[in-house]
Structures are given as structure tokens and as C-alpha cells.
Structure 1
Amino acid sequence: MTESELLPEAYAAVLADFERHLAVERDLTPHTVRAYLGDLDSLLGHVARLGGDSLDDLDLRALRSWLAKQQTLGKARTTIARRATSARVFTAWLLRTGRITADPGARLASPKAHRVLPEVLRQDEAIALVETATATAAEEGPMGVRDAAILELLYATGIRVGELCGLDIDDLDFDRNVVRVFGKGRKERTVPFGQPASAALRRWIAERSSIARAGSGAALFLGARGGRVDQRVVRQVVHDRVSSVPGAPDIAPHGLRHTAATHLLEGGADLRTVQELLGHASMATTQVYTHISNDRLRTAYQQAHPRA
């Protein structure tokens, strides 16, 4: 029996309404919806164990007690910070929909999450990754051509793996070398790509017909059986291909997103441009890449300067 099945009826009902709000009104991904519900299951379960059975019992004291419990359970600061955010989003929605008269989450503080710098490829490693995939694509057949196009597009644009898997053929504009992407919350943005990615995509589209089936639809990237490619397949492609680059860190598709952003900044792009390309809602999210670039600069200095 799950924790949500043990919740008081009032809590279970409002949680179901909030799930519909997230999925239908905010159009969040199933993964994001599950994350919210997991956090709120934990919160409302905690309030119920304290004796609460109505939304009036969801006050600031209960919220703080719940976060303190997460800390005693050894949860990471990033997890606690995320759960505090979930609580604030939830209580703001409760107030907005008239279910409560004051928002306790507005005064809820949370520990500042440590920003862990993601591993990225050096420029020579990234180039080796895409060029090796392109060089071997023809002899590997349609799947090799597809993999090369996937790697080129991920590195060229920095799009998320979910965004890549959701692309349709019509989202590509070869006249302008841009791709239309639907990001978090179905927010649309247009991202440019270069000639190498354009050439790789054209080669893949020419090969795509040999894999396409009746149910393939307009999906740009297909799996071996002709359906829209799965995110797990793309993650495996990136893992396998990166492992063939000597000395490269083991990164996932999100690592290629970090890599693209870092190389853009190292090449002189400004933060605002990178924010738009990546589809970040907040500049604060993009600013982590300045720390990456500074860290790489410091490392290079320490390795190269005799008086470092």
C-alpha cells in the first residue's frame, strides 16, 4: 500500500486535483508530475502522522517539521531544497484556488543546494566524439547514421534528451538551419545548428525510410523497430560512443548539453544568449556554466604556469 493510499480523504482528493493541474493546465512531463506527487505524498503523510486531517493543519510549523525530518533521514541538501520548492508550489496553488486563506509556503526557507559542477567534454573530445561517429556511420548502416545525427544535434544545440526524442521531421528547417523545440511546460523555442549537424541530419533522413513503419508517424529519430526513439536508447548511444573517446568522462546526453553550453561561453557567447538557446527559465540556472568555465581556466592555469 502506498503512502497516498493512507492519506486522509481530504488530502488524497486535493492531491488528485493538483495532479490534474500539473498534467493538464501546466502540461508538465509525466516524470515531473511524479516527482511533485512523490514529494507531496511525503509532506501530507507527515502532516497526517502529526494528527492533521484538513488543509488547515498544513501550516508553516508542519512544513518546517517535515523538512527537518528529511534532514534527520540523511536526505541530500539538493533533495531537501527540491522538496521545499514542491511544497511552495503546492501551497501557492492551494491559496490561488481558494482552498486555504494564507500561504504558509511563502515563508518556508530551504537549505541552499550545493551546485555540483557537471562533467563536460573538452572541445577536442567533443569533436572526436562526433567525427568518429560520422566516419563510421556508413559502415554501421542506418543505426550508425542515426547515432551520428543524434550526437551532432545534441552537441550543436544543447537540447534536452526528451526534447530530442520528441522532435518531428517538420521541426527541422534546413533553409535556416534551425530546429523548433518544445521544452519544459511545452514552451517553444528555436535553436540554430551548424553545417556538420545539417549534413548528418540530411544523411539520416535519407536512411530513415529504410526503418520507418506504418506507426512511425512524423517522428524524426526512430528506434530499430521503427517507433519513435526512446530516451533510454539515446542515453545508451551517448554512453557507448563517449566510452570510445580516450580519456573522456562518462557522460549522459545531459552532459552533452552541459558541454555545448560551456563551449559556447568559452567561445565568447553571452549568458543571455546561452539562456535562450538552452531554454532556461531563470538566468541563475545558466550561470552555473560560468563557474564551469572559470574552474576549467583555473585548472589549466595550475597545470601550465610554473608559479601556479
Structure 2
Amino acid sequence: MFLDRFIQYIKFEKRYSPHTVSAYRSDLDQFMNFIQDPGQPITHPQEVTHHQIRNWMVELMNEGFTSTTINRKVATLRKYFKFLVQEGVIAINPTSKIITPKIAKHLPVVVEDARLTQMLDNGEVFSDDFRGTRDKLIIEMLFGTGMRLSELLGVKDADINLYEGTVKVLGKRNKERIIPINQELLNLLLKYNELKKSENFSNNSLALIVTDKGANAYPKLIYLTVHKYLSHISTQNKKSPHVLRHTFATSLLNAGADLNAIKELLGHANLSATQIYTHNSVERLKSIYKLAHPKA
């Protein structure tokens, strides 16, 4: 009952995305299943203790979950119990005594933009039919705008302004932003739209990216498409859509773009989330220094 109230709260009042709501529900269900004792079932949230939360964190560590994932799951619990305190359901938040594990800082994984551009310009990599054009559009949209996978799935045909050269994106917390589109991507969009019309799909989806049968694209389709084509130019293990987002931001920063402008393009809520890309630029400068400076 209380869990359902919380889900309704984040879904309709906080207006979290369906993906975020699903993740919150999954985390909370996982925790509730862990603490349930058949001999002494928990019937009210006030019975949950910080000891149980710590035991769950230890269990997650033993199962091989990363610190990042554990912190995210604990953050879900914090929000849930904070909601219950605000609603007067419980008096004390059991997560207040919880210290989460430190997260090792990792630089964003990127691909070499020159090799990526070369692949996109290679006429032999992508076929000229609908599927090949759509696949190329997926890569070009992610690399050319820096949008998230979920944001690309949410883009509709009507969100593309061909005259102004922009795309309207609905990001986290339902925050809209406008991202400019380069001329090459605009030309590709025109070609894709013509091919999509010629397919005469029966369901008339409003989404920009659709499947081979004209239905709304789904996350796995985008992921597999990106993984397939990044395998042509990268040997690193991570070949996800987010790698293209990282590459977009890093390329802009290396070219001298203002950090605040990159923040707006990415849809970050604060500058600290964008500053991680400066580390990639520092590493690049170090490598250049080592190669070029006589004292290096």
C-alpha cells in the first residue's frame, strides 16, 4: 500500500520518466524481498531498521554489484523513506545512519571522433535502404546531439524543425531543451523521412525512430545498433549509446566549446555533472605534452 503510494507520487507528482519509475520499483521490490522473514513478516515500514539496510548492502556487494549501483539503490530507499516521513507514516528515516560506499572515479568512455566520422562518411558501411539509413540516423543523432537513449526514443517527427535546424528533446524531469542539428544530419533526416514514407507502414507511428515494421523503436534496438557499428572502429568493451553522448561532449570540449554551453546541450541539471569531461581533455593534453615536449 505504502509502496504503491510512493510510486504514484514519483510518477504523477514528481513526473519521473517511466524508465526511472520502473527502476525505483525494482529496487524497492528487491529490498522488500530481502528483508521479508517468513517467520516474522514485516507489515509496516516503521519496522525497517538501518541494520537491515546495511545487511542488504553487504549482500549486494557479495553478489558483485558495483558501488555505483549500490549507491543508486540506497538512494532509492532514502527517497522512499523520506516520502514516508513527510506523509507521517514513520517518524525516523532508517537510511539516516547509512554511509554508502565510495565510488571510484572513472573517466567517461569515448571513441575517437575522427574514426567515428570516417565510418559515418564511408558509403559502404550503411546500406541505402530504409534499415541502413535508419541505423545511420541513430548513430548520427546520438553523436550529433549528445542526447540520451531514452530521449532519442521519445523524439517524434514533429520535434524536428527542418527550417530552423533544431530538435526538441524531452529530458529528465520532463525538462525540454532545444538542440541544434548540423546540415549533414538534416540531409540525412530528409532522406530517412522519404524512405519511411515509401515503406507505407500501416501503424503510422509518430516516433522518429521506428522498427523495420514501423512500430516505435525500443531500447534494445538502439543499443544493438550502436554496438554493431561501434565494433567497426573500437575494440573497447563498452559500446553503448552513452559512449556516443560522452564522445559528443568530449569532442565539443576539445574544440574549445564553453562548458556551460555543453551543460545546456546535454541537459545536465548542474555544472558538476558536465565537469567530468574536463578530465578527458586534461588526459589528452598530457598525452600531447608527453609526445611533443623535449623534457617530457
TM-score bin (small chain): 0.7 to 0.9
Question: In the TM superposition, what are the counterparts of 1:203-242 in structure 2 within 5 Å?
Answer: 203-242=191-230
1:253 partner letter: P
1:189 Cα deviation (Å)? 1.3
Which of 74, 87, 104 is the matching residue for 1:97?
87
CA separation in 1, counterparts of 2:75 and 2:186?
40
Which of 278, 283, 287 is the matching residue for 1:290?
278
Q: Describe the shift of the 1:211–1:250 C-alpha distance in structure 2 as closer, same or farther (beyond 3 A).
A: farther
SS at match of 1:293: helix
1:199 partner letter: N
Deviates more, 1:119-128 or 1:294-303: 294-303
- Is the CA contact 2:166–2:180 (under 8 Å) kept in the aligned structure 1? yes
Which of 243, 253, 259 is the matching residue for 1:271?
259
**Number of the residue aligned with 2:31:** 43
Measured against aligned partners, the alpha-carbon deviations of 1:123-180 in whole angstroms (never above 9, x if no partner) come to: 2112113212xx3488531222222222222111100112112211110112221111
- Is the CA contact 2:126–2:136 (under 8 Å) kept in the aligned structure 1? no
Q: Describe the shift of the 1:306–1:150 C-alpha distance in structure 2 as closer, same or farther (beyond 3 A).
A: same
Measured against aligned partners, the alpha-carbon deviations of 1:86-143 in whole angstroms (never above 9, x if no partner) come to: 11111111122221223343453312222322321122112113212xx348853122
RMSD: 2.6
CA separation in 1, counterparts of 2:87 and 2:222?
40
- Is the CA contact 1:129–1:242 (under 8 Å) kept in the aligned structure 2? no
CA separation in 2, counterparts of 1:199 and 1:53?
59
| 2:175 is equivalent to residue 193 of structure 1 | no
CA separation in 2, counterparts of 1:87 and 1:24?
19
**Number of the residue aligned with 1:3:** none
CA separation in 2, counterparts of 1:73 and 1:242?
30
**Number of the residue aligned with 1:8:** none
2:78 partner letter: R
1:84 Cα deviation (Å)? 1.7
Unmatched tracts of structure 2, length 5 or more: none
1:259 Cα deviation (Å)? 0.3
CA separation in 2, counterparts of 1:164 and 1:94?
34
| 2:120 is equivalent to residue 130 of structure 1 | yes
Which of 248, 251, 254 is the matching residue for 1:260?
248
- Is the CA contact 1:119–1:249 (under 8 Å) kept in the aligned structure 2? no
Q: Describe the shift of the 1:234–1:41 C-alpha distance in structure 2 as closer, same or farther (beyond 3 A).
A: closer
Which of 47, 65, 71 is the matching residue for 1:57?
47
**Number of the residue aligned with 1:147:** 135
Aligned length: 294
1:293 Cα deviation (Å)? 2.0
- Is the CA contact 2:170–2:176 (under 8 Å) kept in the aligned structure 1? yes
Larger relative contact order (Cα-Cα within 8 Å, sequence gap ≥ 6): 2
2:104 partner letter: H
CA separation in 1, counterparts of 2:93 and 2:118?
53
2:189 partner letter: L
Q: Describe the shift of the 1:307–1:247 C-alpha distance in structure 2 as closer, same or farther (beyond 3 A).
A: farther
1:128 partner letter: Q
**Number of the residue aligned with 1:109:** 99
SS at match of 2:179: strand
